[in-house]
Amino acid sequence: MLIKVFSLPFNSIHGGFNDDSVREFLKDKELISARDYLFTKNDVPYLVFILQYFPYRSEINAKPSEKKEKDEAWRKLLTEADLGFFNILRDWRSQQSKKEGMPPYILFTNWQLAMIVKSRPQSLAELTKIEGIGNSKASKYGAEILSMTKIDLGVKKEESDGS
């Protein structure tokens, strides 16, 4: 998530604030939130916008074919049986990202979720062994992930006992 500040002076020719620069800036962005403030300096009113936004993926400097291959590499890690738990983790990530107002891949990438599914960590130390999951993410989200892992392992155990 990025932040941009615009300060627009009152324009007597337009009879208001000329927001063309703001509109132009937002053409290729995904706006998350906008705050506006009004103040006066030297008897001139100013309108200030503080914008939180995401750049569209086209702005990220990665070659499309390489990025696509990397984005889809996680699929090779999972079996058909793993997809149920992976989807549970992905749904949790989606809900969590909406609460925090950030894109899901910032919380955990699909690769990291797939690694959680494959390794089924049972402690924060095991969770931090997954590339890209440091102490900060582990302390913030680890308890929830570990509880989902334990529930999934319990379900797997019941399935194997019942067979």
For residue 133, the model assigns a pLDDT of 92
- Give 85's contacts (C-beta < 8 A, 6+ positions apart): 117, 148, 152
**Same domain flag for 68 and 147:** yes
3-state secondary structure of 8: strand
Listed residue (55, 62, 60) closest to 27, CA to CA:
55
Dihedral, CA of residue 88, residue 91, residue 93 and residue 95, to nearest 10? -140
For residue 60, the model assigns a pLDDT of 47
State how far the alpha carbon of 77 is from the alpha carbons of 56, 89, 93, in Å: 28, 15, 19
- Local confidence pLDDT in tens for the 163 residues of the chain: 789 999 999 988 778 888 888 888 888 888 888 899 999 999 999 999 999 888 874 444 445 555 555 567 888 888 888 888 899 999 999 999 888 888 888 899 999 999 999 999 999 999 999 999 999 999 999 999 999 888 766 555 555 555 5
For residue 153, the model assigns a pLDDT of 63
- Hey, which bits of 42-112 come out as E strands? 44-55
For residue 163, the model assigns a pLDDT of 52
**Same domain flag for 145 and 69:** yes
**Same domain flag for 45 and 106:** no
**Same domain flag for 76 and 153:** yes
Distance of alpha carbon 77 from alpha carbon 158, whole angstroms:
24
CATH number at residue 89: 1.10.150.80
Into how many domains does the chain fold? Answer: 2
**Same domain flag for 9 and 28:** yes
Domain annotation covers residue 163: no
For residue 101, the model assigns a pLDDT of 87
7: containing domain: 2-55
**Same domain flag for 14 and 87:** no
**Same domain flag for 51 and 82:** no
**Same domain flag for 100 and 148:** yes
Domain annotation covers residue 104: yes
**Same domain flag for 73 and 107:** yes
Burial track 94-116 (b if 16+ CB lie within 10 A, e otherwise) = eebbeeeeeebeebbbbbbbbbb
Domain annotation covers residue 72: yes
